[in-house]
Amino acid sequence: MFVISKLFWLIVNPVNVFIFVLTLGAVLLLTRFKRMGQKLVLLATGLMLFFAILPVGGWLTETLENRFPGNPEIPHDVAGIIVLGGTINQYITETRGQPSLWAGGERFTEFVYLARRFPQARLIFTGGSGALFDQSLKEADAARVMFDRIGLEEGRVLYERNSRNTVENADLSRELAGERFVGKWVLVTSALHMPRAVGVFRKAGWTILPYPVDYFTDGRGSFELGFRPLGGLMALNRAGREWIGLLAYRILGRIDDLFPGPRGMGDN
């Protein structure tokens, strides 16, 4: 299923779709299907201009990011804190000999902040490798190096290093937690990914308090028209991945709600 999901995203990735349609149209221009080629080129160009000018990607992103409140109140007796991987470049960490982060380092700064704020809480980092072929370098191993350098107490963090996606994050972390699984756990991940992550963790039986971080939008809907071909398409790709992921996970039964949201004071 992991391989299928990777290939599926390669096919439905919005930018890949635009490039494929544009390329197909250009090729058809050289054949007897020239008219069809012209239509495809115009379609792909028009769609790319549309998403480059209108902030559709930003709006889709903000809708996801605003689903759960930021900086939620956390009970003093919280059972544990779990942070999802996806922000460490384990390959550069391996070759350069020092932790290297992608965008989204707030996951780690907030995780360490919460770990020190709640010294009794159990801690889990979950993240293996999302690579399609080479699974030898694990993000959890790079995270261990980083947390040691930051000064987080040695032995306090449990590292789950075999997960390849969010479903495996939830399932394998539950196995790792064992009997310590009981109670409310703070879930730290990007605000963009939080709805899907919450749905998956709830499905796996976790009692979750979402703690979203790593925002791309200001949450106020302050979008403007402009010509941002790279930024607009990148935003569309980021948000599209999550919206398509939500739909796919709901169809596959990996989440119970199409758009998981807060459940009240007892379970955000």
Residue 114 has pLDDT above 90, yes or no: yes
CA-wise closest residue to 68 among 189, 191, 175 = 191
Do 113 and 194 fall within a single domain? yes
Do 197 and 73 fall within a single domain? yes
Do 112 and 23 fall within a single domain? no
Residue 267 has pLDDT above 70, yes or no: no
Are 210 and 72 spatial neighbours (Cβ–Cβ below 8 Å)?
Answer: yes
In the structure, what pLDDT confidence band is assigned to residue 147 with cuts at 50, 70 and 90? very high
| Segments of 62-156 assigned E as strands | 80-84, 122-126
Containing 166, the helix (H) or strand (E) segment is helix 166-177
Residue 151 counted as domain residue: yes
Tell me the β-bridge partners of 159: 125
Residue 264 has pLDDT above 70, yes or no: no
Are 160 and 176 spatial neighbours (Cβ–Cβ below 8 Å)?
Answer: yes
Do 93 and 192 fall within a single domain? yes
User: Distance from CA of residue 100 to its chain's centroid?
Assistant: 18
Q: What is the CATH number of the domain that holds 161?
A: 3.40.50.620
Please tell me the total count of domains within the chain. 2
User: Distance from CA of residue 101 to its chain's centroid?
Assistant: 15
Residue 250 counted as domain residue: no
Q: Give percent of the chain above pLDDT 70.
A: 97
Residue 45 has pLDDT above 60, yes or no: yes
Residue 266 counted as domain residue: no
Sequence-distant (6+) residues with CB within 8 A of 225 are 53, 54, 55
Instruction: Print the domain residue range for 56.
Output: 2-63+225-243
What does the DSSP 8-state code read for residue 180? G
Residue 197 has pLDDT above 60, yes or no: yes
Residue 219 counted as domain residue: no
Do 150 and 43 fall within a single domain? no
Residue 248 counted as domain residue: no
Position 7, amino acid: L
What does the DSSP 8-state code read for residue 211? E
User: 0.85 exceeded by the pTM?
Assistant: yes
pLDDT of residue 179: 84
